Amino acid sequence: MSLSETLTAVLACPECGGALVQGSDQGRLICPNGHGDPTGGGFRVEKGVPRLLPSGGSGSAEQRTIEAFERQWRDFGDLERIFGKSPEEMAANLVGARVGGRIDAAWYRGRLVLDAGCGHGRYLHAFRSLGARVVGLDIGRGPEEVGIRPVGEDVSLVQGSVLAPPFRAGSFDLVFSDGVIHHTPDAKGAFLALARLVAPGGALYIWVYPREGWFREAFFGTARAVTTRLPGFAVRWLSYVLAPLTIFVRSYSGTKFGRASWAECAQVVHDWIAPPLQSHHTYEEVAAWAREAGLGGLEQLPIPTGITAWRAADDDSQ
């Protein structure tokens, strides 16, 4: 399966940033500097999905985090609502105050968007419904587990890391990463890596877990020291048992037991207790990262620690 022109125009080696060339058998992407699989040459392409993971593999905590999210989308990816929202509500999330005052529905037409850490994949179709072409990036196979597939020039999928995103600098009109980089070993490093992908005049949207009061931080920190070491089936069972906890503990998505189904609340709890890697941040901290990346026009969003930051239209310094 050949890759779309949209995707091949922006792909780059995750090791050196060099442009990748599709091999003659269309099953490989070749790096001019020889990076990739040493036994087969270049990087594999499977079912239209380039596998552009950096060399060295993942640390134990990172690998267990990847597995936790792959399991989450296998178990919960077919729910009608994910994080309390239907596909239509997710599309509505992409316009107006939730992503910043400068982005309305008309803004997306003809734009190229990166969903960095696309997970359940529903935002990919939401961006497409607004007239954008979208590339979904995920380090695991979670999007494929729920049936996400490339769709012509409009929807592409890449397996890769937000810490070493395999794209050319300045490629995207919008880089969107919702609840992702706090599940990496280096949230700031991921932010800066994604910021380099924003085109002049484009925007970076990021949401990370907020730093809560000492009691919630201590309670969940203590609980997660246990739950993140449990086998997958036990975490799934415990997520269902603890689903009513959303009555008393605020979920960032607004999912609440009694207003959402038991399974929908269990999915949110799974997101809290399963992945070993999870960091919490303040808006001021994230805003400082944006300034360090050379972005301006910072917009503090209604959701805690949500930010949209813009690259100047005449900035070609990525």
Give domain status of residue 12, yes or no: no
Determine the pLDDT at residue 39. Answer: 64
How high is the mean pLDDT of the chain?
91
pTM: 0.94
pLDDT at 194 over 90: yes
For Cα atoms 62, 133, 201, give the angle at the middle one, nearest 5 degrees.
85
Beta bridge partners of 115: 136, 176
Give domain status of residue 309, yes or no: yes
Task: Provide the percentage of residues in the chain whose pLDDT is more than 90.
Answer: 69
Determine the pLDDT at residue 153. Answer: 85
Query: In angstroms, rounded to a whole number, what is the distance separating the alpha carbons of residues 242 and 220?
Result: 13
Give domain status of residue 239, yes or no: yes
Query: In angstroms, rounded to a whole number, what is the distance separating the alpha carbons of residues 134 and 239?
Result: 32
Which residue's structure tokens are 């596998």? 51
Query: In angstroms, rounded to a whole number, what is the distance separating the alpha carbons of residues 195 and 294?
Result: 9
Query: Where in the sequence is the domain holding 85, given as residue range(s)?
Result: 50-318
Give domain status of residue 174, yes or no: yes
Domain count, the chain: 1
Give domain status of residue 197, yes or no: yes
Helix (H) / strand (E) containing 227: helix 214-227
Give domain status of residue 45, yes or no: no
Give the mean model confidence (pLDDT) for residues 292-304: 95
Give the mean model confidence (pLDDT) for residues 229-235: 95
Give domain status of residue 32, yes or no: no
CATH classification at residue 166:
3.40.50.150
Give the mean model confidence (pLDDT) for residues 230-234: 95
pLDDT tens, position by position, 29-65: 988 888 887 666 789 998 889 999 988 767 799 999 9
Give domain status of residue 2, yes or no: no
Distances (CA, A) of 309 to 168, 173, 233, 314: 19, 12, 40, 15
Query: In angstroms, rounded to a whole number, what is the distance separating the alpha carbons of residues 286 and 80?
Result: 32
